[in-house]
Amino acid sequence: VFSEFEIEQHQECAYDHLEVFDGETEKSPILGRLCGNKTPEPLVATGNKMFVRFVSDASVQRKGFQATHSTECGGRLKVESKPRDLYSHAQFGDNNYPGQVDCEWLLVSERGSRLELSFQIFEVEEEADCGYDYVELFDGLDSTAVGLGRFCGSGPPEEIYSIGDTVLIHFHTDDTISKKGFHIRYKSIRYPDTTHTKK
């Protein structure tokens, strides 16, 4: 989010400019190439990394820019055969998860593969129907897909396998009791012969 912005103007931002990429290097997809004195709209990355590069030449100088960054929960995550970790909230391990949260993570793997989700740590407010705080998993792009279970308390006892190549994770919390949260390890696999679901 930009609070101040004044960089040498050019129609194609060929001279002084700010480039922002959706990932950890300049080879990542570009979110914007910016110049001029009009404050840009906020830029949002799809994952948890953003690469920012400011370039200035030897001639015209302007004031520059000021920007702040913040993290939003949720997002789209690429799934590969190498396991990766997902945490319920940014301060996992230091603080309990916040109240009144609805976060959605979309885990997308290659076509023809399935996902394995393994709950390393799971401490979410317990309730018989998991009606207060819960993690809900769907075997597809959105909440109209087949449910893989709604979990609270100490979570699922074993790994969860998807049928398709995409899983939606929805984390909901109410405004009262909060607990430690969860740590999920996920990876893509080729056709396991078991699918675990829980209603």
CB-CB neighbours of 27 under 10 Å: 9
pLDDT bucket at 199, cuts 50 / 70 / 90: very low
- What is residue 28's three-state secondary structure? coil
The structural domains of the chain, with segments of one domain joined by +, span 2-67, 75-189
Is residue 123 scored above 60 in pLDDT? yes
Higher pLDDT: 198 or 5? It is 5
pTM: 0.68
**Nearest C-alpha neighbor of 86 from the set 116, 51, 127:** 116
CA dihedral sign, ordered 21, 23, 26, 29 = negative
Question: N- to C-terminal Cα distance for the chain?
Answer: 41
Give every CB contact of residue 77 below 8 A, 6+ residues apart in sequence.
47, 84, 86, 105, 106, 107, 108, 186
- What is residue 75's three-state secondary structure? strand
Is residue 5 scored above 70 in pLDDT? yes
**Using an 8 Å Cβ cutoff, are 161 and 111 in contact?**
no
pLDDT tens-digit map of 52-66: 999 999 999 999 999
pLDDT tens-digit map of 28-53: 999 999 999 999 999 988 777 899 99
What pLDDT does residue 196 have? 55
Q: Which CATH architecture has domain 2-67?
A: Sandwich (2.60)
What pLDDT does residue 157 have? 80
Do the first three CATH levels of 2-67 and 75-189 match, i.e. the same topology? yes
Top-tier CATH class for 75-189: mainly beta
